[in-house]
Structure 1
Amino acid sequence: MDVQLTSFGKEIVAGLTTGSITTIVTHPLDLVKIRLQLLATNSDHLGYRYVISSVQQNAKGDIRRIVKEVYRGLGINWIGNATAWALYFGLYRASKDLIYELQISGNDRHDDQLKRDADLSSWMYLSAGAISGVITSIATNPIWVIKTRIMSTSGYEANSYTSAMDGIKRLIRDEGVRGVWRGLMPSLFGVSQGAIYFMIYDTLKYRFSSLSYQTEDPNRRKTLKNSETFAISSISKIISVTAVYPFQLLKSNLQSFDAKKKKYTFRNLVRSINQAEGLSGFYKGLSANLLRAIPSTCITFFLYENIRSII
């Protein structure tokens, strides 16, 4: 018996699948990015060499232990990313549909999903991305706190979380329920990254790609060409990540173990980073993030566009 998915359901399935695969492939780069971000308050200008050598030292040069170290936190990262992508894609679809119903007059409305999306303006894409981003950030913030603490420390360090469940128990025991919402403020500011990304992505997709040539042919192509997906997703990611990267860095630091020890607040953390490294400190790990984010996003949207077209 065939199960017919709604457009919302298709987005959920596509988001879960793409989030899972992308996380497994890019996890080691994500770990390096987080550890670089947490060096932003260090005045010794430590960088990639320090992070890589610390991984090797903690693993004592053993290949199996190195692999275990670079994939530390994979489980919680997988849960977080799969959940976040599924929520984001599903809510983005729902938000676009809601905005379409509110903003497009009855006589101009289409039943065809492609034409409906093409009728929206860049500002409508931005609004839909912001709505879905805020809800997703609030819902998944506890996962990111645990993820940051696991991935920022070696499994061989004393007092490091041994698992996601251990992290949840100790976080609530030591810091209370309030602890799971650490870093939420910069996370909400960082929502603009996803909103900017989807605004650029959908604007390029529906205005400048092969999909922009609308015809009445029912057999016309309804998905991007793979080459277009790679080009559009890369351009969108570079611009959006660079624009709001400081908020990602602040979020990682506020969610780290040091946040409690050093009594970080949003304001004094900004001051500490500025004193340690100046403006460049807010972009610590940006190149590692782009190195991870661009191929990650290309893979994600290649899978997303193709999975969505066949389910």
Structure 2
Amino acid sequence: MSKLTPFENATAGALGALSANTAVFPLDVIKTRLQVQTRELKSLNPDRHYDSTLDAFLKILSTEGIQGLYAGLGAGLFGTVASSFSYFYFYSYVRGTYQRKVPGEISTGMELILGAVAGAMSQICTLPVAVVTTRQQTSSKEEQLPFLATMRKIIEEEGLGGLWRGLQASLVLCVNPAITYGMFERLKTLYLRRAGNVSDRLSPGQTFIIGALSKALATIVTYPYIMAKVRMQWKPPKDVGGLSAKDKENITYKSSVDILQKVLAREGLAGWYKGLQPQIVKAVLCQAILFVCKDQFGTLTLFLLSFLTKAKNGSVKSLN
């Protein structure tokens, strides 16, 4: 993959992410709905309160049909491509620039820093799409709107800044891909050294396992802020007339820190990890599939570029 330019590397990464996220999208819908659940809203709509991942799957399927499990799919996949493309582009560019200026092996600490910088740049560019996706995934069937209509409604009701809700938590979460890719590169290097692999390449199976381990660690460490980010982007339902003033205050958030404090006070430490099961399954599977697909798409890209170059040179020779 080192022969790919930042643009080509980003393209391979985006295609890999698109494939991975399409496969696990229902888990994304389920974990998002679990993350925004509150005790205050349980009595208002029992059908949208879930006791577990399986309960959520069955209730969504029975009340909304298969389309409910794919609510916000268009925005989600667009966001996946945009986020992954921009992250891989920035990561490849930043890492390549650093290696040119500082030759030699990159330390684990520097891998984390480079990943965090790339993640921050990517989040700033793509956060509006994530906000729209969260609104679509958590809206009732009657309130769901298309992508552009949802974006327009957010701007009308909350101003342009509404499209960047959860930015604070998103920037904190830049450590997530930093940990993921830092751990991936470190585990990959250690494995190849121990195995005596001189080709500097992992098999798809080895890539899957190392990618899964890397993402699992990153997800567990950063999950409270993942939950806080989703709640910042979420908007409580309109029908909250039966709630007391205190209950309404409990589901109104000023910042990610405010969310963590309120959830801890109301639900304890377990509240910070609500929806962890589908999140970690989704994240691990998605990341592992992404690493495998990205590697394969990267190989395919190199093959196509080589083929096109040869075809072009052949055409030039025939003209001469």
Q: Deviations over 1:269-309 (max 9, x none)?
A: 22221122101100111111111111211111111112212
1:39-91 deviation per Cα after TM superposition (whole angstroms, max 9, x unaligned) = 156596953265335414532xxxxxx11111111000000001111111111
Partner residue, 1:134:
120
Q: Which amino acid aligns with 1:251?
A: K
Is 1:189 equivalent to 2:188 in the alignment?
Answer: no
Quickly say closer, same or farther: Cα 1:207–1:42, change in 2 above 3 A. farther
Q: CA offsets per residue over residues 89-145 of structure 1, 9 Å max, x none? A: 1111111112212323xxxx6xxxxxxxxx211112111111110001111111111
From 235, 238, 262, the equivalent of 2:213 is 235
Structure 1 residues 207 and 46, CA, compared in 2 at 3 Å: closer, same or farther? same
* Structure 1: runs of 5 or more not aligned: 60-65, 110-118, 216-220
1:25 aligns with 2:3: no
Q: What secondary structure sits across from 1:209 in the alignment?
A: helix
**Shift of the alpha carbon at 1:212?**
7.5
The aligned residue for residue 151 of structure 2 is 168
C-alpha distance after superposition, 1:143-197 (max 9, x if no partner): 111000100123x23xx23111110110111111010111110111111111011
2:227 to 222, 232, 249: 249
Structure 2: segments with no counterpart, 5+ residues: 43-48, 239-247, 302-320
When the two chains are superposed, the root-mean-square deviation of aligned CA atoms in Å is 2.3
2:51 maps to which residue? Answer: 47
Query: Does the CA contact (< 8 Å) of 1:41 and 1:273 recur in 2?
Result: no
Displacement after TM superposition at 1:17 (Å)? 0.9
Task: Output the TM-score relative to the length of structure 2.
Answer: 0.81
Amino acid at match of 2:56: V
Map 1:54-69 → 2, pairs under 5 A: 54-59=59-64, 66-69=65-68
Q: How does 1:200-211 map to 2 (within 5 A)?
A: 200-209=183-192
The structure with the larger Rg is 2
Q: List aligned pairs for 1:279-290, cutoff 5 A.
A: 279-290=269-280
Does residue 258 (structure 1) correspond to residue 256 (structure 2)? The answer is no
Work out whether residues 184 and 214 of structure 2, in 8 Å CA contact, stay in contact via their aligned partners in 1. yes
- Describe the SS at the equivalent of 2:145: coil
Whether the 8 Å CA contact 1:26–1:296 is kept in 2: the answer is yes
* Contact 2:263–2:272 under 8 Å retained in 1: yes
Q: Following the alignment from structure 1 to structure 2, what is the Cα–Cα distance between the partners of residues 189 and 167?
A: 26
CA distance in 2, matches of 1:72, 1:273: 26
2:144 partner SS: coil
Letter in 2 for 1:172: I
- Structure 1 length-normalised TM: 0.83
User: Which residue pairs with 2:132 in the alignment?
Assistant: 146
Structure 2 residue 272 is the aligned partner of structure 1 residue 294? no
1:12 is aligned to 10
Structure 1 residue 205: deviation in Å? 1.2
Aligned pairs, number: 280
Q: Secondary structure at the match of 1:263?
A: coil
Q: What is the distance in 2 between the residues matched to 1:35 and 1:310?
A: 37
Per the TM alignment, residue 222 of structure 1 is displaced from its structure 2 partner at its CA by 4.2
Q: Residue 18 of structure 1 contacts residue 300 of structure 1 at CA under 8 Å; is this kept in 2? A: yes
* 1:71 aligns to 2:54 (yes or no): no
The amino acid that maps onto 1:134 is A
**Structure-2 residue corresponding to 1:123:** 109
Structure 2: distance between partners of 1:289 and 1:102: 38
Return the alpha-carbon distance in structure 1 between the equivalents of residues 234 and 178 of structure 2. 26
Contact residue 192 and residue 200 of structure 2 kept, 8 A:
no
Kindly, what percent of the aligned residue pairs are identical? 25
Which residue of structure 2 aligns with residue 112 of structure 1? none
Stretch deviating more after TM superposition (243-252 or 91-100): 91-100
Structure 2 counterparts to residues 76-91 of structure 1, below 5 A: 76-91=75-90
Change (3 A) 1:213 1:285: same
User: Contact between 2:114 and 2:178, CA under 8 Å: does it hold in 1?
Assistant: yes
